[in-house]
Structure 1
Amino acid sequence: MINIRNVSKVFPMESGDFAALRNNEIHIRKGEFVAIMGPSGSGKSTLLQLIGGLDLPTSGDVVVDGVKLNALNEKERTLFRRTKVGFVFQNYQLLPMMTASENIALSLAANKTPKEEIRKTVQRLLKEVNLEGKGDQFPSQLSGGQQQRVAIARALAMKPGLILADEPTGNLDGQNGRDILQLLSRLSREEQMTIVMVTHDRQAAKAADRIIVIRDGEVAQDGLEGGEAV
């Protein structure tokens, strides 16, 4: 599903070039739930941005579902992100003036999906993330855990094969965090979605099938087993 081939990412700075990633090789199978760990500034979030087509490598290839992202132009990468990848962030990034249902429907509306299909899809997703009856509520009326569930439902709207989650439990208490990890694990196991999650939390990483540790822009460890109950 994901092939990172000899990928480096260098950022030019006044004090000299900064290599956020250095010559990395990573391969992730379809349906695999992978946690990426590492200290702040290690390059893990940069890697997530490259996999999602939000940025391009300085050298090497990023291939996702057979598509070489660094060979696409900006318009093509935007379409790729919109249809192939679901993003989940630590701070939810919900639009406060829209209800839960309207937030979930955003990508569907952007792709000119018929209104009745949008309605049915939103209702299905609310049920899937255990938020039935909450569709008319605004983000401010929902708990942090509920807002993150809305964000996951929004990420699932276009039926992506890949979910990229950047610290998805970072703002949640213990139980809500465990609930989100269980949901991601179920999506990987039952829906065969590939999930790549950046986290600094060792306990959260244990929910994944596999743990990759990045230090100083390089893969320091790959293949540490997760899969523990959360």
Structure 2
Amino acid sequence: MSIMSNAKRALAIAAAAATLFSMAACGSSNAAGNKSDSSSAASSGKIEVVASINQWGPVAEDLGGSNVEVTNIMTKTNVEAHDYEPTSQDVAKFGTAKVAVVNGADYDPWATKAAQSTKATLVTAAETAGIKEGDNPHVWFSAKVRSNAADAITAAYQKADPSHKDDYAKLNKEWHAKEDQLESKIKETSAKTENLPYAATESVAWYLADDLKMTDATPKATPRPPPTRASRPRPTSRTSRTP
């Protein structure tokens, strides 16, 4: 099989796996959105939760069930999180939340800054797996990050609402059962994709490709060499005169 055929096959399988993950991440029966307010959450006795991006909102909702009210700050996928300018209303939501879930790895620095200035328990998904600023920030595609972040969110709920500690433990177990099914499918797919080369113009699905054991064959950018002496323009003498 040619390299081109391998690449096409790998991309097709990776795309299918990515779709599978997207369906799982967004499969909450009541997908979290930019919908709650502090007064409704407080009056209902629910934990007010704010998630910076919509990749983590459904996860936070699944892990909290009817005991939480989750609000996503960013709900539009066509807006780059790193460049997002939060409104005063966005910042205020962090101020009233008991739990804040952010992506981290410098993907949503505005959210981290807003959450750190509040009393909310902060869950930074990237940090649960030791991923820091400068690393690939698209961590929701990483099985390890999803699992670790889920456990961190559950711990935050149990801290904020100890009377429902057992409920959160049960929801966590149910969430992991679904995640295990997803990871099983990824593992099954990796048997077909292992060592298959791929090239990508964007690094969005790098963690997924890594879980699929694919080989990143994206050409590295070649730095431009400095100009040689011969190619540099000769300086003009200020003292020279035309006779």
- Shorter chain as denominator, the TM-score bin is under 0.3
Higher strand share: 1
More relative contact order, 1 or 2 (CA 8 Å, 6+ apart): 1
Higher helix share: 2
TM score, norm. by length of structure 2 = 0.26
Q: Which has the larger radius of gyration?
A: 2
